[in-house]
Structure formats: C-alpha cells, structure tokens
Chain A
Amino acid sequence: MNLSFQEKSLWVVFLGLIAASGWYCYTVSESIVPTELAVDVMPDQVALFIAAVVLLIIVQIVGHIAIAVGDRRSEMDERDRLIGLKGTRNGAFVLATGAFFALSAAMMTKGNFVSSHVLLGFWVLAQLTETGSQLFLYRRGR
C-alpha cells in the first residue's frame, strides 16, 4: 500500500489517540471503586489526563519524525483539502452530539466526573471519526 505523507500522518494521529485515550480510560476505570459512582474528578485523574496528553504529543512527534525521515513531505493539494473538510464535518457532528450529552449529564448527575468524561469521550470519538473518515476517503479516492 502506497501512502502519501498526509495519510501516514493521519495514521499516526489515529493510532496515537487510541493509545493515549485507551491508556487513560483503562487507568481511570481501574481507580474507580465499583460500588459507588465517582462524583468529582480527582486530582490524580487530572494528573493522569495530563500524562495522557503528554503521551499523545510524544507519540505524534516521534511518529511524524519517523514519517519525515522516510518520506518527502508534499504540499496539500485540492483533494487533501476536500478530504480534510469532509473529515472535519463528520467529526463536528459527533462533537456536537457529545456537547449535548455532556450538558445533559451535567444537569442530571452530581459533580463533574460524569459530564467531563462524557465530553472527553465524545471529543476523542470526534477526533477518531475525523481522522478515520479521512483515512477511508483517501482509500476510496475522494
């Protein structure tokens, strides 16, 4: 499979996001006591979130350096821009849906744990939808 620089870059973002958010979700779910629902985001979870963001940034930097070593970076052309716009549109639908559910969760649950994690979950999902749909469109041709 012959991938362009943009496609490889999208794969790095896609896989990096899965790795960082997966690690965060797994670690936070391990720390929650199963008998009671967490009410507020705890300081150690904030630290975990920051660590996940740092992990994501490191994965992106290392991944893009690896791509740049083996590939000449080409400028974005009209097809890249069109695919980018379509991906952003798809991601925006998911993010808007997430904002609605996060607001609903904020109004119906105690504390900020549920609403902030609903928002975080949908943000990750929106990013995955955006990059995933771009990867799909690149393979389909447009």
Chain B
Amino acid sequence: MRKGEALISNKIRALRFQHDEMTQQMLADRVGVTRQTVNAIEGNKYSPSLEVAFRIARVFCVPLEQVFQYAGSGDPCA
C-alpha cells in the first residue's frame, strides 16, 4: 500500500444510485454534513467519524460493513 493511499474504501456512490439516484446533497442533508464532506468521503479523501459512518449506513438501511471496507493488511482473526 502506497503512502497516503486510503485504507478505508466505500460503496456510497453505488448505494446512492441504488436508492433512486440519491444526490450527494440529499445524502448530506440526511446525515447532517456538507455536500463537500460527502464528496470527500466518496472519493476516499476523508475517513468519517464512526458516528457519521453509522448514520450513512442507516440512511441506506444496510450494515456498516456494506458501506465501508477496511483494506489494512494483517488480519489478527485469520
């Protein structure tokens, strides 16, 4: 993994389109953040707090792991 590359990826864009092509602004309003923050999260430029991550998952009615994926190496549970 290159330095600066995001460890947390997400499927927000896909989930938005599955939910009646929800816009970033609509998602931002429901989560309580700005549209620019949704854009930064979607582009893997900003990792949200746990609370915002849960709120995003709740908007799409899916578990957190379905929205966010952690790509860090070394799984201690394996």
Residues of A at the B interface (CB closer than 8 Å) are 2, 4, 6-7, 74-75, 77-80, 138, 140-142
Bound CA span A77–B48, Å:
11
11 contacts between A and B (CB under 8 A): A75-B34, A77-B32, A78-B37, A78-B49, A79-B33, A79-B34, A80-B34, A141-B45, A141-B46, A142-B40, A142-B46
B32 in contact with A79 (CB, 8 Å): no
CB distance from A84 to the nearest CB of B (A): 13
Contacts of A79 on B, CB cut-off 8 Å? 33-34, 36-37, 40, 46, 48
The interface residues of chain B, by DSSP majority, are classed as loop
With contacts A141-B46, A142-B45 taken as known, whether A78 is within 8 angstroms of B33 at the C-beta atoms is yes
How many of chain B's residues have a CB under 8 angstroms from any CB in A?
Answer: 14
In the complex, B62 has a CB within 8 A of chain A: no
Whether B52 sits at the interface, judged by CB under 8 Å, is yes
If the complex has contacts A4-B34, A4-B36, are A78 and B48 also in contact, measured as CB distance less than 8 A? yes
Q: Quote the shortest CB–CB distance from B37 to chain A (angstroms).
A: 5
Q: Are A77 and B37 in contact (CB under 8 A)?
A: yes
| 8 Å CB contact of A141 from B33, B35, B43, B49 | B43
What residues on A are CB-neighbors of B46 within 8 Å? 79, 141-142
A77 pairs with B33, CB closer than 8 A: yes
Distance from B29 Cβ to chain A, minimum over Cβ atoms (Å): 10
Q: Min CB distance, A132 to chain B, in Å?
A: 18
Residue of A nearest to B47 (CB): A142
Closest chain A residue to B44, Cβ basis: A141
Q: Which of A4, A6, A138, A141 has the most CB of B within 10 A?
A: A141
Chain A residue at minimum C-beta to C-beta distance from B48: A78
Query: In the complex, what's the smallest C-beta–C-beta distance from B22 to chain A, in angstroms?
Result: 18
